[in-house]
Structure 1
Amino acid sequence: MKAFIAEFIGVFALVFAGVGAIHVTEGGELTAVALAHGLAIALMILAVGHASGGHFNPAVTFGMLITGNIKLGPAIGYWVSQFLGGLAAAALLAGLYGSEAVAKGTPAVGLGFSAPQGLVAEIVLTFFLVLVIFATALHHKLPVAAFAIGLTIVMDIMAGGAISGAAMNPARVLAPAIIGGSWADHWIYWVGPLVGAAIAAIFYTQIYMVDEKEEAKLPVDLTSDRPSS
């Protein structure tokens, strides 16, 4: 239950900060919007990530499921909690700013770009995000993992925000879409993040997990207190 509450809070913060920043800046300050999303995730990982692993994204949970780092039962609980957290934040924002503000904060394919371009952007951007999560938080367990993940979100939004909104997260899109009623090219924000996360998960299993298995097979140096390298 603690993990589900943590996932609820994490996505709540992401949607509240992200959509709120878009409304306050009228969508004209990409850097501010990128920082709002990135800081929300980084800070929530630090605050409650210890309780759940700090997924805060159905695509991340999907990647963890593929790599065997979470079982299907808990994964379903994570997904429900994530979507409910986003929905609660979107509903609160609608009460504060109105449903139109929530609709404007719903990611959409940018003017001059096609749905296929938006799909490719979501795949690539989510791949970057999930790969950094696997590398920094799961594999190396770096103390700065939270900020590395947050900065990846900032990078992704600044690079791809004009193309697809750089959602990388189905919960970030579904909740505002329900409250704000904006469903344009909605399928992109499911297919893109899930495919991107799956590619990152496969990359992780073939690179990082293979390295771990190879290291486990190394002979022990009897003249040292640690395995030889």
Structure 2
Amino acid sequence: MVLFFTSAAVNPAVTLYMGKDKVENEDLIKYAWPQDIWFHVDKLSSAHVYLRMPDGMAWESIPEPLLVDCAQLVKANSIEGNKKDNLTIIYTPADNLKKTGDMAVGQVSFHNDKRRVHVPKRENPIVNRLNKTKVERQVDHEQERIDRIKVESAVRRADAAQQKKAGAELAKAREYEKAARSYDTLFAAQEQDAEEEEVEAPKKSVREWEEDFM
């Protein structure tokens, strides 16, 4: 079972979730989404809390109120950490988690960087607000991944089609501009030739016109 929470620290609200036990945590490590950010108490046992970032949010610049919500939820779900003040919470993108076969259930390491946030003490109003939104749900992780990939693929195809259309329209506009410039150049050349002919043609006298007529 997975526990879901809603944080209204930002607008629109975002989803936080965590496994009910260490066995469930293994599935969350395996199936976390690319936009999920993992939180844990540093050097202590705690729940693995994930933030599902909305579009446009970067993990290096998570808004402070939302970061506090995540940290408080992690602290509240650590048996030892919940009783202590001045904790350090570590967080990193889910795809930065490293899991090897020799690790214990629920244990992880990291490929690259992680960040830290300091929690001076438990903030009951925050924890209570989050707990009021808690929903427990059975999740088919494999099907959820399949559905997510389908949606992401559809979005990529739509973006590619839009870019192709925009490229075709730009190419058409450039061809039109090129043709217009060529026409303007040709028209200007014709005008110049006509002017030169007028200048070069000698003016005839009245007698010369009469002789031509005769």
TM range (shorter): under 0.3
Structure with more of its chain in strand, by fraction? 2
Structure with more of its chain in helix, by fraction? 1
TM-score scaled by length of structure 1: 0.24
Q: Which has the larger radius of gyration?
A: 2
Considering Cα pairs closer than 8 Å and 6+ residues apart, tell me whether 1 or 2 has the greater RCO.
1
